[in-house]
Amino acid sequence: MDRGGRLLLLDSASLYFRAFYGVPDQRTSPDEPPTNAIRGFLDMLATLVDRHRPTHLAACWDNDWRPQFRVRAIPSYKTHRVAAGGDLTAPGGVAGAGGAASDAVPSPSATPAEAGDSGRTAEEAPDDLAPQVPVIAAALAALGVARVGVDGFEADDVIGALAHRHRGHLAVDIVTGDRDLFQLVDDALAVRVLYTAKGGVRDAEIVDQSVLIARYAVPTGDAYADLAVLRGDASDGLPGVAGIGEKTAAALLATYGSLDGIRTAVDGGDPRIKGAKRARLEAGAAYLDVAPGVVRVAVDAPVPDVDLRLPTRVADPALMSRLAVDYGLTNPFNRVLGALGLG
């Protein structure tokens, strides 16, 4: 297969949350706008482009961080992270390379509610982060970096759809601190995850199938998704099958090949699944009916066809200049421009 380039898919929320908590707040006056997440996000972008030299790039966006199709299936999905207040999705759904976002940029003096409240259910987040998210979106638009989101879907779904669309033609690197996206790893199609949870973007762990085997005893991304269904994930409000932990789930998958294989064995009375293990899997049948549709990313999400090639020029110099002045972003912008070869 011709893999003439590399596509870098950014889990944007993962990065700007990490930037917010990891980059010091340098304000000297309460009248100054918060900028630590903006500065950190742009610095991460520059580092990723410089180190991995992608030919294509998309900042993938949570237009809906808690989609209704997942909530209808499992009402506890992310319930513990719901909060009243500003919406962190940022304006608009899709901005291609050069897509304008200047009308949506909040004033540096805007309150969190003025900066981002759209009336949708919001994810719990610090007040100082909400006004920075639209500025990040505007900075991407000014640079000409594609920002891609789809109403009714999470960034994970956008990443899954773009990875499936381009795999085999481009090598695909997914940048995230979220294990959920391990399900997309595929060595044969050159899809891997740059996992930032421990080392950040500067020392991201490269997760391929060898890591899945060594750490989780599952051989493929598909098998990892089945493992995640059985194990559950408290951080997403997914209960899993009570009493079936990660090791037991991996052992069952090794024996039966897939979640479908395990369920077929239970329904067929396979004598190797007995006692408490059988009782737990039978008790979890209703959960297992719906959980795969929640855990698996929606690779068929209606992601538009957007030009993901790296920009060859600054898309909106006036907007970039305005953001640089209003938010003190001259140095972060210069770093990104240098990494993109536009400096």
Output the DSSP codes for 230-244.
HH-BGGGTB--STT-
Give the torsion through C-alpha atoms of 165, 166, 168, 174, to 10 deg.
-110
pLDDT for 174 equals 98
Burial (CB < 10 A; 0-12, 13-18, 19+), residue 29, is exposed
- The whole-number pLDDT of residue 226 equals 98
Distance CA 50, CA 334 (A): 13
Residue ranges per structural domain of the chain: 6-210+299-330, 212-295
63-99 pLDDT, tens digit per residue, is 999 999 999 999 999 998 887 544 455 555 555 554 4
Q: Give the pLDDT confidence score for residue 123 in this predicted structure.
A: 78
Cα-based distances in Å from 258 to 35, 44, 229? 46, 37, 11
Q: State the pLDDT at residue 86.
A: 43
- pLDDT at residue number 98: 42
What's the confidence (pLDDT) of residue 1?
47
Residue 80's pLDDT is 86
Q: Please, what's the b/e burial string for 89-98 (b: 16 or more CB within 10 A of its CB; e: otherwise)?
A: bbbbbbbbbb
HSE at residue 172, side-chain half, CA atoms within 13 A, is 28
pLDDT of residue 110: 58
pLDDT for res 9: 98
pLDDT of residue 119: 43
**Overall pTM surpassing 0.85 (yes/no):** yes
Q: Do domains 6-210+299-330 and 212-295 have the same CATH topology?
A: no
Q: What residue has token string 């993938």?
A: 60
> What CATH code is assigned to 6-210+299-330?
3.40.50.1010
Report the C-alpha gap between 307 and 129 in whole angstroms: 29
pLDDT at site 116: 45
Q: Which CATH architecture has domain 212-295?
A: Orthogonal Bundle (1.10)
pLDDT at 214: 98
Name the nearest CA neighbour of 156 among 220, 49, 76, 67: 67
State how far the alpha carbon of 207 is from the alpha carbons of 14, 126, 168, 177, in Å.
Answer: 17, 30, 18, 11
What is the residue-level pLDDT of the chain in tens, covering all 343 positions? Answer: 456 899 999 999 999 999 999 999 989 888 899 999 999 999 999 999 999 999 999 999 999 999 999 999 999 999 988 875 444 555 555 555 544 444 456 667 555 444 444 445 677 788 999 999 999 999 999 999 999 999 999 999 999 999 999 999 999 999 999 999 999 999 999 999 999 999 999 999 999 999 999 999 999 999 999 999 999 999 999 999 999 999 999 999 999 999 999 999 999 999 999 999 999 999 999 999 999 999 999 999 999 999 999 999 999 999 999 999 999 999 999 999 999 999 7
